[in-house]
């Protein structure tokens, strides 16, 4: 959270979508520059775009409603999706001779917390681009009502990231949240109900679809030298000295030798192991959390030059999961929350608990309370902001295991893991991790998947709602995983 969150705030207001064609046009015009300069994306390749052209044409004819469910490995995915819809889609439609409206766009769902750390102007921009904010830690009735209305009758399709947040992994799909499937069934129900109330002779109810969109990235020139430099910086920040016998002469665009790759992996794993021990010691000493600290393991290594690691990948993964559970439990105990559910659910509950103490529903006019009351409110907000720090650390490592790089020591996997470690180390230093380091120019690969019919599942939904939502969610997870290119 931004530093301003250490003071009590008025209730967090809903930002209504207010699409502006002029703002859309300006954003579209600036997008290629933003992709190159800010996102580091030099090229975007799209597979099966012809299917998306057909879907948009059918949508504009009133013959279908659909939601674009896109993968979310990085913070730049929405920019790529915007390019797909505003640049690539019209060009493909023109090649196919299919008429589309001048503005091919989508109402997109975004986390209400983004404008808090990215800046208030982002909330304004997202509103003018038709975005719909949602608070993920509670039943956000206002947002859900708007999403439901836009899905059933909005001027554009809906777009959302079913993983809920970016997981930092190019080739791992985080667990899909059930909200996307639920939105689809709501839309199908609303359209069926509207058809029942309409006069006879009207056109058939349009089918409702969920269209999976795969997103991946590859470096144009693998930035091995830059990654080694970033690794060296992280080692220094963590109190580790880079091994003196580290293979030198790494060059961007040139694959390292097997010995160099092995050395880089050992250093990366050693860094992770060292940070793991530090954090275990931190929670054990200062929170009496009872984390299993390895017997005899040092808690600092300012002069270490040994690149050997002592943990197996499996043991590292197990202890990392235990550490994340401990960090969440520390925050949950402060907020008085139960330690139940999966990690994403626990993170969302903690975020909402912090927001409840920062954005005070019971103090709608902070200007009329006394100075003492305001001071107490600020203290509550400050404590909430400090305690949610534990959750932010966990949020970064939800999809991390000890095997991701070892299974495939590619430049992409090395880079992704280094960025995650950068995020953690920055937070441990008390700094913002944004913007992330730019390691090299990338090419984005977007794949339009086969649509999943929601309407065909409506009878099953009416029979057993929970099971139908679970099944559709699992099918969407499988569809997104099937589009990952190794």
Residue 137, pLDDT score:
80
* pLDDT of 28 higher than 90: yes
pLDDT band at 471 (very low <50, low <70, confident <90, very high): very high
Least confident of 63-72, 104-113, 206-215, 396-405: 396-405
What string of DSSP letters covers 395-413? HHTTT--SSHHHH---HHH
Strands 208-219 and 452-453: antiparallel
Higher pLDDT, 251 or 277: 277
Average the pLDDT over 114-134 and give the result: 94
Rounded Cα gap, residues 158 and 69, in angstroms: 9
Residue 313, pLDDT score:
87
Average the pLDDT over 78-98 and give the result: 98
Average the pLDDT over 26-52 and give the result: 97
pLDDT averaged over every residue in the chain: 91
CA distances from 102 to 86, 93, 94, 182, 384 (A): 9, 11, 11, 31, 46
b/e map of 58-76 (b: 16 or more CB within 10 Å)?
bbbeeebbbbbbbbbbbbb
* pLDDT of 161 higher than 90: yes
* pLDDT of 301 higher than 50: no
pLDDT band at 321 (very low <50, low <70, confident <90, very high): very high
Helix (H) or strand (E) holding 209: strand 208-219
Least confident of 2-16, 82-96, 366-380: 2-16
Average the pLDDT over 89-109 and give the result: 97
Residue 251, pLDDT score:
84
What is the pTM (predicted TM-score) of this model? Answer: 0.93
pLDDT tens-digit series, residues 286-299: 998 766 544 444 44
Helix (H) or strand (E) holding 127: helix 120-128
* pLDDT of 356 higher than 60: yes
Q: Evaluate whether the domain defined by 3-220+442-482 bears CATH number 3.40.1130.10.
A: yes
Residue 198, pLDDT score:
66
* pLDDT of 200 higher than 80: no
What string of DSSP letters covers 264-329? HHHHHHHHHHHHHHHHHHHHHHHS-----PPTT--S--TT-------S-HHHHHHHHHHHHHHHHH
Portions of the chain given CATH number 3.40.1130.10: 3-220+442-482
């Amino acid at each position: 959270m931004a530093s301003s969150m250490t003071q009590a705030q008025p209730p967090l207001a809903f930002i209504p979508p207010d699409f502006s064609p002029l703002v859309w046009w300006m954003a579209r015009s600036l997008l290629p520059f933003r992709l190159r300069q800010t996102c580091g994306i030099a090229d975007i390749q799209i597979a099966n775009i012809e299917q998306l052209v057909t879907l948009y044409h059918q949508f504009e004819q009133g013959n279908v409603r659909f939601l674009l469910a896109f993968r979310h490995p990085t913070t730049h995915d929405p920019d790529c999706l915007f390019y797909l819809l505003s640049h690539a889609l019209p060009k493909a439609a023109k090649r196919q001779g299919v008429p589309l409206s001048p503005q091919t766009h989508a109402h997109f769902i975004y986390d209400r917390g983004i404008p808090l750390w990215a800046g208030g102007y982002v909330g304004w921009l997202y509103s003018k681009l038709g975005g719909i904010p949602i608070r993920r830690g509670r039943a956000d009735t206002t947002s859900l009502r708007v999403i439901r209305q836009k899905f059933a009758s909005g001027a554009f399709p809906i777009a959302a990231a079913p993983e809920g947040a970016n997981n930092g992994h190019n080739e791992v799909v985080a667990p899909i949240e059930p909200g996307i499937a639920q939105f689809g069934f709501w839309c199908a129900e609303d359209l069926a109900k509207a058809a029942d109330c309409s006069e006879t002779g009207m056109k058939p109810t349009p089918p409702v679809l969920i269209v999976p969109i795969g997103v991946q990235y590859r470096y144009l020139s693998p930035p091995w030298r830059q990654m080694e430099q970033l690794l060296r910086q992280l080692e220094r920040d963590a109190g580790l000295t880079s091994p003196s016998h580290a293979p030198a002469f790494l060059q961007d665009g040139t694959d390292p030798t097997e010995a160099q790759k092995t050395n880089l992996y050992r250093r990366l794993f050693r860094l992770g192991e060292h940070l793991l021990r530090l954090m275990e010691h931190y929670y054990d000493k200062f929170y009496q959390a009872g984390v299993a600290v390895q017997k005899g393991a040092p808690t600092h290594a300012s002069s270490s030059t040994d690149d050997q690691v002592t943990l197996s990948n499996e043991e590292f993964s197990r202890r990392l999961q235990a550490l994340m559970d401990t960090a969440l439990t520390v925050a949950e105990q402060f907020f008085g929350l139960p330690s139940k559910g999966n990690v994403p659910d626990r993170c969302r509950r903690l975020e909402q608990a912090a927001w409840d103490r920062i954005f005070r529903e019971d103090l709608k006019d902070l200007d009329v309370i006394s100075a003492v009351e305001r001071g107490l409110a600020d203290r509550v907000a400050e404590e909430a902001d400090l305690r949610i720090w534990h959750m932010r650390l966990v949020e970064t490592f939800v999809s991390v295991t000890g095997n991701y790089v070892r299974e495939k020591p590619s430049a992409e996997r090395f880079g992704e893991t280094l960025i995650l470690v950068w995020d953690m180390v920055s937070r441990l230093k008390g700094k913002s991790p944004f913007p992330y380091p730019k390691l090299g120019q990338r090419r984005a690969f977007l794949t339009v998947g086969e649509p999943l019919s929601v309407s065909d599942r409506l009878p099953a939904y009416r029979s057993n709602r929970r099971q139908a939502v679970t099944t559709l969610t699992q099918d969407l997870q499988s569809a997104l995983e099937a589009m990952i290119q190794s």
